[in-house]
């Protein structure tokens, strides 16, 4: 395959909304076959999908039962029977013109997808294989990956699923393909406590996909999700969705299907209701004729460039072509040491770049925060788990194994603790210093509810950098940071220089939440007056539709202007750009603040 591939990582997305996104991308490639292909990698909330040859009796629960369990039921336009998607299962939708795979050969396309999964599993030590007469990827414990593809005018959609760590009870809601006696395997079953996070597996799968399909250029992009679209909204349902088998008959079928296998996906000629792409183009391939709605454009200034798939041209991320192996090792190390990272917990768009460069930003004091900031993807809890006294040692051990020169540790807010977790963070800094005497340490701390005593505790551990983000302009605090106080954050930053004059005070904020440039400039002036020596300004990207929406995609030249203004105010180091985050190029930022230069490639390395 030649040309570009856009990688889209929208997180956990409703099936119908993801289907609408596929439709939009397919329509674009049908109209212009020279455009870049796409690979959507995501999870779904729990959903049962019914292919063209489905039988209602293969769903073993009534509509009322499914509603009580929160399981969606969707009749879709792929071939085959019944399958399930849900949390813990990785789903990938390749949107590609088939001719880019060398020839218009459906069987070859399926084999390439299988090879992608087999190589991904091998990278984590799991032996996968093909099964004669069936599609998908199998192991000696059962089927671990299902495939179900469809085409419109030789452009692929639908795709593959990989069982990472799903709730196996949900497979008991269906009889996949009407088959019984076949087992379902998961990565958790092979790796147990050493299972990497699903986003690490996703990055590895993307890397293997690019290798198998010989992708020349990879771009990671953010897109706005369209409104949900019913796959068969313009067609009469052929399956009665509200009249399952009688209870006794359902129990008989369930009893005959003790172990289930996900649907292996359509093969050539399997579903006569959908014309095969091998029979010619332009026949519709089972699509309705209504166009997929496109999202409302966001402001970009008076002369902003045209947006592609709901994002401006500058929000394009090129993934490392050969970094999947390193990223997998970083993820496995973090899992082995039971560590949280802000990269994963906050859905950082730089995760792939940083993990592939052998670095990560640690998240201390547990995975849950007691504040409910509306921009942040970190888990929320009014009563988080107690602090883990062994966490400082494990963070230090991870930093040592990764051979980090600059170690960045951020933390959730813990309003439930008397000192806000200050003593714990100080212990982390001391443990890192003992394990890596030559490394510099950066702590990104909460506001400690304004306690300067807590701040003194942290600074006594001697971090080179004390980072606390103001996040946004004061006017937007009630909406963006409920529970926080702008002036309290400024006072904490100002106190850093009074308490520890040799420690660099650092802060950051997001752009694109509805702030005005003059408000950002005023924040920069406030930070300069507080003695802050380094700032970061980056584009806000909503982690999910449930978070605050993006108000504006800020142009790169505006970020450059913010950097110039910060330096003119006496702030020694200013990292400002669309992809900038607090810990992005953090070592380089420290070096710049000291008046030196650096070529270091990533956040904490």
Return the closest-CA partner of residue 88 out of 194, 198, 202, 205: 198
Average pLDDT score, the chain = 81
Pairing, β 379-380 against β 368-369: parallel
- Per the model's pLDDT, the better-predicted residue between 190 and 252 turns out to be 190
Give yes or no for residue 544 having a pLDDT over 90.
no
Q: Is 73 helix (H, G, I), strand (E, B) or coil?
A: strand
Task: Indicate the pairing of strand 47-50 with strand 82-85.
Answer: antiparallel
Task: Say how far apart CA 420 and CA 1 lie, in whole Å.
Answer: 53
Q: What is the CATH number of the domain that holds 13?
A: 3.30.930.10
Of the chain, the percentage scoring pLDDT greater than 70 comes to: 80
Q: Name the band, by pLDDT with cuts 50, 70 and 90, for residue 492.
A: very high
Domain membership flag for residue 197:
yes
* 356-384 pLDDT tens trace: 888 999 999 998 899 888 888 888 887 78
pLDDT at 388: 95
Whether 472 is covered by a domain: the verdict is yes
Q: Is residue 124 situated within a structural domain?
A: yes
d(CA 238, CA 86): 25
Residues 347 and 483 grouped into a single domain = yes
Residue 69: pLDDT above 90? no
Q: Which of 60-69, 244-253, 436-445 has the weakest average pLDDT?
A: 244-253
Which tokens go with 58?
């293969």
Q: How many CB atoms lie within 10 A of CB 388?
A: 14
Q: Is 118's pLDDT higher than 80?
A: yes
Q: Verify that 352 and 245 share a domain, yes or no.
A: no
Q: For residue 556, give the DSSP letter.
A: H
The tens digit of pLDDT for each residue in 126-163 reads 999 998 877 789 998 889 998 888 888 889 999 999 99
Instruction: Specify the number of domains making up the chain.
Output: 2
Determine the Cα–Cα distance for residues 220 and 8; give it in Å rounded to an integer. Answer: 6
Please compute the mean of the pLDDT values over residues 259-270 and round it to a whole number.
Answer: 30
Which pLDDT score is estimated for 276? 27
| Band of residue 335 on the pLDDT scale cut at 50, 70, 90 | confident
Domain enclosing residue 61, as ranges = 4-279
Q: Can you give the pLDDT at residue 428?
A: 97
601 pLDDT above the threshold of 70: no
Residues 341 and 411 in one domain: yes
- Angstrom distance (rounded) from CA 56 to CA 256: 16
DSSP-assigned states of every residue in 109-122: HHHHHHHHHHHHHH
- The whole-number pLDDT of residue 119 equals 92
User: Residue 61's pLDDT is what?
Assistant: 78
Kindly state the average pLDDT of the residues 513-518: 96
Q: Is the pLDDT of residue 316 over 80?
A: no
Is 83 in a helix, a strand, or coil? strand
Asked if the model's pLDDT at residue 38 lies above 60, the reply is yes
Q: Which residues contact 62 (CB under 8 A, 6 or more apart)?
A: 242, 244
pLDDT, position 319: 57
pLDDT, residue 346, reads: 80
431 and 574 inside one domain: yes
Rounded-to-integer distance, Cα 32 and Cα 53, Å: 32
pLDDT band at residue 108 using 50, 70 and 90 as cut-offs: confident
**Residue 224 pLDDT exceeds 50:** yes
Q: Which of 279, 305, 321 is the last residue of a domain?
A: 279
Q: Judge if 197 and 343 occupy the same domain.
A: no
Q: Following DSSP, what letter does each residue of 182-209 receive, concatenated? A: --B--HHHHHGGGPPPHHHHHHHHHHHH
Upper half-sphere CA count for residue 72 (Cβ side, 13 Å): 17
Q: Which residues contact 393 (CB under 8 A, 6 or more apart)?
A: 431
What is the pLDDT at residue 46? Answer: 93
Q: Does the pLDDT of residue 347 top 90, yes or no?
A: no
* CATH number of the domain enclosing 473: 3.20.20.70
How far, in Å, CA of 265 to CA of 51, rounded?
9
Distance CA 576, CA 524 (A): 12
Backbone angles phi, psi at 441, to 5 degrees: -125, 135
pLDDT of residue 182: 67
In a domain, 308, yes or no: no
- Round to whole Å and give the CA distance between 550 and 552: 6
Taking 80 as the threshold, does the pLDDT of residue 81 lie above it? Answer: no
The predicted structure's pLDDT at residue 377: 80
Q: Are residues 274 and 341 in the same domain?
A: no
Please check whether residue 266 lies inside any domain of the structure.
Answer: yes
Residues 575, 438 share a domain: yes
Is residue 127 in some structural domain?
yes
**143 and 252 inside one domain:** yes
User: Is 510 a domain residue?
Assistant: yes
pTM of this structure: 0.55
Could you tell me the two tokens for 135?
């599609």
Given 279, 310, 345, the domain boundary residue is: 279
Helix locations, 360-471, DSSP H: 391-402, 422-435, 452-459
Q: Report whether pLDDT(522) > 80.
A: yes
30 and 122 in a single domain? The answer is: yes
Please tell me which of 197-201, 558-562, 599-603 the model is most confident about, judged by mean pLDDT. Answer: 558-562
Tell whether 297 is covered by a domain: no
Answer with the residue of higher pLDDT: 601 or 572.
572
Q: Is the pLDDT of residue 419 over 70?
A: yes
385 and 259 together in one domain: no
Please tell me the predicted confidence (pLDDT) of residue 324: 60
The answer on 73 and 200 residing in a single domain is yes
Q: Examine the fold and report which residue of 279, 308, 329 is the final residue of a domain before the chain moves on.
A: 279
* Domain match, 267 and 381 both: no
Nearest to 347 by CA among 583, 513, 543: 543
Q: What Cα–Cα distance (Å) separates residue 204 from each residue in 332, 344, 549? A: 12, 15, 29
pLDDT the model gives residue 97:
92
Per the model's pLDDT, the better-predicted residue between 210 and 270 turns out to be 210
Most confident of 49-63, 97-111, 580-594: 580-594
Instruction: State the Cα–Cα distance between residues 470 and 477, nearest whole angstrom.
Output: 9
């Amino acid at each position: 395959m030649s040309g570009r591939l856009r990688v889209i990582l929208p997180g956990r997305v409703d099936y119908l909304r993801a289907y609408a996104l596929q439709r939009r991308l397919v329509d674009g490639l049908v109209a212009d076959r020279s455009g870049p292909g796409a690979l959507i990698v995501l999870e779904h909330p729990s959903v049962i999908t019914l292919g063209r040859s489905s039988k209602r009796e293969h769903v073993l629960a009534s509509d009322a039962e499914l509603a009580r369990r929160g399981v969606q039921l969707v009749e879709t336009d792929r071939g085959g029977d019944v399958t399930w998607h849900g949390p813990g299962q990785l789903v990938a939708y390749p949107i590609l013109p088939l001719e880019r795979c060398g020839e218009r050969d459906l069987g070859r396309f399926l084999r390439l997808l299988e090879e992608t999964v087999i190589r991904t599993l091998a990278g984590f030590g799991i032996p996968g294989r093909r099964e004669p007469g069936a599609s998908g990827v199998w192991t000696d414990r059962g089927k671990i990956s299902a495939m179900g593809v469809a085409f419109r005018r030789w452009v692929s959609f639908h795709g593959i699923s990989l069982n990472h760590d799903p709730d196996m009870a949900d497979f008991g809601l269906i009889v996949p393909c009407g088959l019984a006696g076949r087992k379902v395997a998961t990565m958790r079953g092979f790796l147990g406590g050493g299972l990497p996070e699903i986003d690490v597996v996703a990055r590895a799968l993307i890397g293997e996909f690019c290798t198998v399909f010989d992708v020349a250029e990879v771009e990671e992009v953010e897109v706005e999700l369209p409104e949900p679209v019913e796959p068969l909204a313009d067609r009469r349902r052929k399956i009665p969705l509200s009249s399952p088998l009688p209870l006794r008959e359902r129990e008989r079928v369930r009893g005959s299907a003790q172990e289930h296998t996900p649907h292996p996906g359509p093969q050539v000629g399997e579903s006569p209701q959908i014309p095969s792409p091998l029979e010619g183009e332009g026949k519709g391939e089972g699509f309705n004729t209504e166009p997929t709605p496109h999202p409302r454009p966001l402001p970009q200034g008076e002369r902003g460039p045209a947006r592609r798939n709901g994002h401006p041209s500058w929000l394009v991320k090129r993934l490392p072509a050969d970094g999947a192996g390193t990223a997998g090792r970083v993820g496995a190390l973090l899992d082995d040491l039971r560590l949280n990272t802000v990269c994963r917990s906050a859905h950082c768009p730089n995760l792939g770049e940083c993990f592939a460069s052998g670095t990560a930003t640690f998240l201390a004091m547990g995975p849950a925060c007691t504040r409910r900031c509306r921009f942040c993807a970190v888990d929320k809890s009014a009563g988080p788990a107690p602090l883990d006294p062994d966490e400082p040692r494990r963070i230090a051990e991870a930093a040592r194994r990764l051979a980090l020169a600059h170690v960045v540790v951020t933390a959730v807010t813990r309003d439930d603790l008397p000192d806000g977790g200050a003593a714990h963070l100080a212990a982390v800094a001391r443990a890192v210093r003992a394990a890596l005497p030559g490394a510099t340490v950066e702590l990104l701390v909460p506001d400690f509810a304004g306690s300067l005593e807590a701040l003194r505790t942290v600074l006594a551990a001697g971090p080179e950098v004390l980072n606390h983000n103001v996040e946004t302009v004061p006017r937007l605090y009630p909406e963006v940071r409920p529970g926080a106080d702008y002036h309290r954050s400024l006072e904490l930053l100002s106190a850093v220089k009074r308490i520890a004059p040799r420690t660099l005070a650092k802060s950051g904020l997001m752009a694109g939440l509805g702030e005005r440039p003059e408000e950002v400039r005023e924040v920069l002036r406030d930070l300069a007056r507080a003695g802050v020596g380094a700032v970061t300004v980056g584009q806000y990207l909503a982690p999910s539709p449930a978070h605050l929406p993006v108000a504006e995609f800020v142009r790169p030249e505006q970020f450059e202007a913010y950097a110039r203004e910060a330096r003119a105010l006496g702030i020694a180091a200013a990292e400002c750009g669309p992809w900038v985050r607090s810990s992005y190029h953090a070592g380089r930022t420290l070096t710049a603040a000291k008046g030196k230069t650096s070529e270091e490639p990533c956040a904490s390395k």
